[in-house]
Amino acid sequence: MITIGKKLKDKIIETFSNELRILIDNIIIKEKKIFVTLKAENIDQAKELEPLKIECEQKISNFNFFEDINISFTTIKKKFSKVIVVSSCKGGVGKSTLSVNIALSLQKLGKKVGLLDGDIYGPSIPKLLNINTKPDVNDKKKIIPINHKGIEVISIGFLIDEKKPLVWRGPMLQSAIMQLINDVAWNSLDYLVIDFPPGTGDTQLTIMQKIKIDYALIVTTPQEIALADTRKGINMFNTFNIPIAGIVENMSYFVCDNCGTKHFLFGENGGEKLSKEFNIKLLGKIPFHSTISKNCDSGTPELIYNNSDLNKIYLNISKSLIKQ
């Protein structure tokens, strides 16, 4: 026989769908009465989530135990004024580097910023920021994001052994990414910057379905093979009606130290090509520069801003985002 208390509560939750589990704020069992509180951002969202409330009541009724079932929504305070995802379907084009530098430049412009590493299989943020500590947990069992020079940062890389690969299927992946969002004690922030992994898989779909993304920032190199994959990413956001703030062309050119000539190692004007094709603004071109690779490898990307040219590029991109 099922005993009242945690064991019964756990068995009830096991019957819920993943979508319903994410909404659980609290469950209280008192004798043969049960009180379930579900989370919603506002009253309108609570109305949209009514089918999940019905599911909750049905699953609890199936236990044939409770005489009184009470289910209600509580509205949660929105933690982020704006959510930006930095994305490209192509790997190796510099999404993580751009995400870090956008977070840093937004902070330089006086904004409160959080940075979420959305790449579960290959998290780069811990290395880029040289963060080796594990986050603490507060008394509500929420993960406290690492405060890195005023920026709140969270990554699966803080919680796992960096030398061991993650061999996870879709449901585990979705659960992990939602935990990084819902189970983190974020403070109220002006911007949450999310570093998207490459591709159009479970992680991206989970984030797009569960979080209100204000806009996406697309990053690509000028190379045609990168543009081909980046188009898929743009079409993915269009499918989900997520606005695209603009395109950033990374590794755009290399300036010779001796003659000052620009050399286009990966081709020229790839960003412009995408910009015209999809009618999206080209927000900036970031060159190959030893300062970027050197300081990102050493975990000190903030030192990039000592270079006036790079400082101007990143700040101009961030100013464009603020104007959105």
The confidence score (pLDDT) of residue 1 equals 37
Cα separation, 202 vs 48, whole angstroms = 23
pLDDT (average), residues 137-159: 90
Per-residue pLDDT, 110:
95
Query: For the chain, what percent of residues have pLDDT higher than 70?
Result: 93
The tens digit of pLDDT for each residue in 62-95 reads: 999 998 898 888 765 568 889 999 998 788 888 9
Instruction: Flag the least confident range among 41-55, 96-110, 166-180.
Output: 166-180
Q: Reduce the secondary structure of the chain to three states and give it as a string.
A: CCCCCHHHHHHHHHCCCHHHHHHEEEEEEECCEEEEEEEECCHHHHHHCHHHHHHHHHHHHCCCCCCEEEEEEEECCCCEEEEEEEECCCCCCCHHHHHHHHHHHHHHCCCCEEEEECCCCCCCHHHHHCCCCCCCECCCCCECCEEECCEEEEEHHHCCCCCCCCCCCHHHHHHHHHHHHHCECCCCEEEEEEECCCCCCHHHHHHHHHCCCCEEEEEECCCHHHHHHHHHHHHHHHHCCCCEEEEEECCCCEECCCCCCEECCCCCCHHHHHHHHHCCCEEEECCECHHHHHHHHCCCHHHHHHCHHHHHHHHHHHHHHHCC
Which fold, 6-75? Histidine-containing Protein; Chain: A; (3.30.1340)
Domain boundaries, the chain: 6-75, 80-322
Q: Is the pLDDT of residue 302 over 50?
A: yes
Give residue 2's pLDDT.
41
What is the rounded average pLDDT of the residues 268-283? Answer: 93
pLDDT class of 164 with cuts at 50, 70, 90: low
Instruction: At 40, list the tokens.
Output: 């919603």
Residue 261 has pLDDT above 90, yes or no: no
The tens digit of pLDDT for each residue in 192-221 reads 999 998 877 777 877 776 677 899 999 999
Mean pLDDT of 10-34: 87
CA 145/CA 136 separation, integer angstroms: 8
Cα 40 to Cα 32: distance, rounded to the nearest angstrom = 26
Distance CA 104, CA 86 (A): 14
pLDDT of residue 76: 54
The residue among 320 and 204 whose pLDDT is bigger is: 320
Exposure pattern of 74-90 as b/e (b: 16+ CB <10 Å)? eeeeebbebbbbbbbbb
Residue entry with tokens 């580097």: 97
Mean predicted confidence (pLDDT) in 33-37: 85
Alpha-carbon Rg for the chain in angstroms: 22
Write down the mean pLDDT value for the chain. Answer: 86
The answer to whether 166 and 202 are in contact (CB under 8 A) is: no
pLDDT of residue 28: 78
pLDDT of residue 75: 61
Q: Please determine whether the domains at 6-75 and 80-322 fall in the same fold group of CATH.
A: no
Topology of domain 80-322, CATH: Rossmann fold (3.40.50)
pLDDT computed for residue 250 by the predictor = 92
**What is the biggest distance separating any 2 CA atoms in the chain, rounded to whole angstroms?**
83
Question: Model-level pTM?
Answer: 0.74
Q: What pLDDT score was predicted for residue 170?
A: 62
pLDDT of 139 higher than 70: yes
Share of the chain above pLDDT 90, in %: 41
Residue 292 bridge partners (DSSP): none
Measured over the CA atoms of residue 17, residue 20, residue 22 and residue 24, the dihedral's sign is negative
pLDDT at res. 280: 96
